[in-house]
Chain A
């Protein structure tokens, strides 16, 4: 068991693989973490989840670390809102807001942290904050239809050669995880549009609801060998059906 203190409060941790951010969230402390998603590998790029850490043995020295990546080490004293941390977070929010001045999410954060952006040169209205959640989600799906291209200030998320990505299955995971709604996904009449491509959406054969793109189902079929006809039922109806089958077998 690992013992740490968060803002002075002792916390005991049993799972050694937890990061500081996991623990901070669990005990109900709210800190911004825009490039973090519980289902994806952490990346430490937004730097908003920074905290100040120290240990009694460090002779009063402290370090600023990203909590989403930092492991829980025994004896750590963690400050989630120290003056140094607040100051840093504030400037980082300003920097992000100067880049994406129309973002509701960032404006809200700025309000919370009293961050006024006026002095930071020209405002731009980019939508993407380059947190990389979408590319990580796509990678986790085993697709890699989009990736980060270019370096530094010119960095952006894009499909190869900026063409509509051929291998995209239109699953929409990228849009789903985007913390600032920067990825456009529209659906009309059984057609989903994303990354300049159009995907036919499958209607559930039982309830009739549109639930996944045909390409996505084909991907599952190819990857796991599940018969295509079994994939044409939406997850809810599938669950229900299993329930009915069970009921029929055991109770009727």
Chain B
């Protein structure tokens, strides 16, 4: 139990010194992705071998006097999930990809004992064949600026000692020496904007709550992360849970709140486990609980598991859910800062927002303001997926262009295909086009083109993507996730989905496109909560940038990307057909007939355009047209 600020500082110095005695550190990624491909087995194998060789150390062993050994530790997500399981060797910075349990022996013998790289485990660019020794040399990492994610992949998320050794919780010492007002001012001056989607200045929220008079105030951390393509918050909670807790304690002190809640998505059991461990450790160390560091300030945190609905990530639905009520949004005012959780003044921020706080306090406002663009300082984490060479979790300064993200970090579009669009911000975001490649990605610039950072999901789409189908896909998601409370969202998303389904089925009319637009505007302006207010974004942006594609479906009855089944038709080229009959056997609707060794024929009336025949034909005789 640390009782004073002084003790905390001394302990940190101690731990730091101890950490300095580690000769080498082997970090095995224990993020959700790598763990599902067996990384824990690799961790255990490595630890066993290192221990058997008498090399193993950790902070406690070093403090007992053991020096110069090798630490093996699980870590949070490195971001390069596609290449997992990942193993990283520090201080050399070697990154081994797609590691198997059997590789453990070789890693220890060569890298640990001889200091040599295991060539065959290095990352090799599939397009160029080039291999990379260290993670920094891989463009995927090299072009990033990992600040909020700095610990994700480099420390053991289950060790508070390591976190403290690296400077963690030190900001509390600084913060407790400031007045709450001054802390709010600092966050305000740093222009920290909410990373949960809206980009609202966190300092304004904190200061509003600070000014409210109430017998109880709350800090709530939104870890619901409902966007299907996003996993930034998960990675932070799993990989660096103490940073989120530290941010929340600071918010509590600044706003006068003594109780905190972290609302974690039900599908994130590992995040829950890591946060639980971290909270228990923080309590043991006296960093949570009563009279923290002897300052008289009390703060404690509870974890709440989400109810599993997308809409529960919306602020008022989330607080309702914590209260034990149905996760349904309500209208504002009153605002959350006045009447939030249990009708008390509440600071509600996103995981990544809280994770930025210790950084701002420790490095200073001026330093922070230099990263990113004017009015949008700091970095943003994105989940990069879709038709892109390197998928994964990335962090870049605000204002980085789409071009840098897609081509420098993401490695471009695979198969030499052309970029068609990027969906940013998940189901409530909008799409960007190649014309936006040089647009700085920050809250304001994106808003100006009708998109938004939203959750931070970035789905890259190549030329073979049908944008009407994309709009349909997202509308299908939101329609199912609508809570159903208000008419525009409940009825409007359903009607929009019906129209989009009609268009991709080749039955749309020009009038439908018009109705779709009217509906989209109504749902946007008339809905009760953010889910409805943003549900139209995919429709509105695809209509704006890809209107011809809608018109092609409706008027010319073609899907320009060749995706929508309704517009496909198949025929057999009699010149190429050898009459083997394979097509006829796979056809689910018995639409293909013919005599063996004579050309077969497709009955257009019966054909359901499934394409099974084209896939089955060994002679490429089935043509699509």
Contacts and interface: CB of A to CB of B under 8 A. Distances in A.
Contacts of A148: 484
Given A64-B525, A96-B491, A152 B519 contact: no
Interface in B507-523: 511-512, 515, 518-519, 522
Tell me the interface secondary structure of chain B in the complex: helix
Contact of A47 (B309, B486, B499, B511): B486
Residue picked from B485, B492, B494, B527, most chain A C-beta under 10 Å:
B485
A96 B484 contact: no
Interface in A122-151: 122, 129-130, 132, 148, 150-151
A23 interface: no
Interface stretch (B245-253, B475-483, B598-606): B475-483
A87 B523 CA distance: 12
B487 A153 contact: no
A53 B485 CA distance: 23
Nearest to B494: A153
Contacts of B309: 151
A173 interface: no
A69 B511 contact: no
B495 interface: yes
B333 A121 contact: no
Nearest to B515: A119
A47 B333 contact: no
A157 to B, nearest CB: 11
Nearest to A154: B484
Nearest to B326: A148
B522 A152 contact: no
A91 B519 contact: yes
B482 A152 contact: yes
Given A91-B522, A92-B526, A130 B515 contact: no
B498 interface: yes
Interface in A49-75: 50, 64-66, 69-71
B525 A45 contact: no
Given A88-B525, A121-B498, A47 B490 contact: no
B480 A152 contact: yes
Contact of B488 (A84, A92, A152, A153): A92
Interface string A75-90: 0000000001001100
Nearest to B519: A91
Interface in A94-130: 95-96, 98-99, 119-122, 129-130
A8 to B, nearest CB: 23
A70 B498 CA distance: 33
A9 interface: no
Nearest to B334: A71
Nearest to A153: B494
Contacts of A132: 485
A153 B499 contact: no
Contact of A95 (B333, B485, B488, B512): B488
B487 A95 contact: yes
A45 B328 CA distance: 11
B482 A151 contact: yes
B526 A44 contact: no
A45 B485 contact: yes
A33 interface: no
Contact of B487 (A46, A64, A87): A46
B528 A45 contact: yes
B330 interface: yes
Contacts of A91: 488, 492, 518-519, 522, 526
A248 interface: no
B495 A121 contact: yes
Given A47-B487, A150-B484, A152-B479, A95 B492 contact: yes
A95 B487 CA distance: 8
B491 A155 contact: no
A241 to B, nearest CB: 44
Interface in B105-122: none
A64 B522 CA distance: 11
Given A95-B491, A96-B487, A130-B490, A153 B482 contact: yes
A40 B486 CA distance: 17
A44 B488 contact: no
Contact of A151 (B484, B495, B512, B519): B484
A155 B488 contact: no
Contact of B484 (A43, A98, A119, A152): A152
Contacts of B528: 44-45, 47, 66
Contacts of A99: 491
Given A71-B333, A95-B488, A121 B499 contact: yes
Contacts of A43: 485
A246 B306 CA distance: 60
B10 interface: no
Contacts of B491: 95-96, 98-99, 153
Residue picked from B333, B480, B484, most chain A C-beta under 10 Å:
B484
B484 A130 contact: yes
A148 B526 CA distance: 22
Contacts of A46: 486-487
A44 B330 contact: yes
B331 interface: yes
Contacts of B518: 91
Given A64-B526, A130-B484, A95 B495 contact: yes
Contacts of A122: 498
Contact of A153 (B330, B486, B490, B512): B490
A148 B528 CA distance: 17
A132 B330 CA distance: 14
Contacts of B488: 47, 91-92, 95
A240 to B, nearest CB: 44
A139 B526 CA distance: 27
B333 to A, nearest CB: 6
Contacts of A96: 487, 491
Contacts of B494: 152-153
Interface string B142-185: 00000000000000000000000000000000000000000000
B486 A44 contact: yes
Contacts of B485: 43, 45, 132, 155
Contacts of A121: 495, 498-499
B208 to A, nearest CB: 16
Contacts of A154: 484
A153 B526 contact: no
Contacts of B493: 152
30 contacts: A43-B485, A44-B528, A45-B487, A46-B486, A46-B487, A64-B525, A69-B331, A70-B331, A84-B525, A91-B519, A91-B522, A98-B495, A119-B515, A121-B495, A130-B490, A150-B484, A151-B481, A151-B483, A151-B484, A152-B482, A152-B483, A152-B484, A152-B493, A152-B494, A153-B490, A153-B491, A153-B494, A155-B483, A155-B484, A155-B490
Given A87-B522, A91-B518, 12 more contacts: A47-B527, A65-B331, A88-B526, A91-B488, A92-B487, A92-B488, A92-B526, A95-B495, A98-B495, A132-B485, A151-B482, A153-B491
Interface of A: 43-48, 50, 64-66, 69-71, 84, 87-88, 91-92, 95-96, 98-99, 119-122, 129-130, 132, 148, 150-155
